[in-house]
Homo-oligomer: A and B are copies of this chain.
Amino acid sequence: MATGRTHRPATRSRGIPEATVARLPLYLRALTALSERSVPTVSSEELAAAAGVNSAKLRKDFSYLGSYGTRGVGYDVEYLVYQISRELGLTQDWPVVIVGIGNLGAALANYGGFASRGFRVAALIDADPAMAGKPVAGMPVQHSDDLEKIVEDNGVSIGVIATPAGAAQPVCDRLVAAGVTSILNFAPTVLSVPDGVDVRKVDLSIELQILAFHEQRKAGEEAAGETGAVPLAPKEAGKGPDGDVPAVMPA
Instruction: Mark A residues whose CB is within 8 Å of B.
Output: 1-4, 7, 11-13, 19, 21-22, 24-26, 28-30, 32, 35, 50-52, 76, 78-79, 81-82, 85-94, 96, 103-104, 106-108, 110-111, 113-120, 157-158, 181-184, 188, 190, 192, 196, 198, 200, 202-219, 221, 226, 230, 233-239, 241-242, 244-246, 248-250
Q: Do B51 and A209 touch across chains, with their CB atoms under 8 A apart? A: no
Q: Do B22 and A210 touch across chains, with their CB atoms under 8 A apart? A: yes
A119: B residues at CB distance < 8 A: 205, 208, 212
Nearest chain B CB to A206 CB, angstrom units:
4
Can you list 10 contacts pairing A with B, beta carbon distance less than 8 Å? A22-B210, A30-B190, A50-B190, A92-B235, A93-B235, A108-B204, A116-B205, A118-B238, A157-B215, A200-B211
Nearest chain B CB to A134 CB, angstrom units:
16
Q: Do B250 and A78 touch across chains, with their CB atoms under 8 A apart? A: yes
- Nearest first, the 8 A-B pairs at minimum CB distance are A93-B238, A89-B216, A52-B190, A107-B107, A103-B107, A182-B211, A25-B209, A116-B241
A203: B residues at CB distance < 8 A: 25
Nearest chain B CB to A248 CB, angstrom units:
7
Q: Can you name 6 extra interface pairs (CB under 8 A) apart from A157-B219, A184-B208?
A: A12-B221, A24-B213, A25-B205, A26-B206, A82-B245, A89-B213
Name the residue of chain B whose CB is nearest to the CB of A109: B103
Q: Do A114 and B51 touch across chains, with their CB atoms under 8 A apart? A: no
A61–B178 CA distance with the chains assembled, in angstroms: 37
A90: B residues at CB distance < 8 A: 209, 212, 245
A52–B121 CA distance with the chains assembled, in angstroms: 29
A69–B196 CA distance with the chains assembled, in angstroms: 35
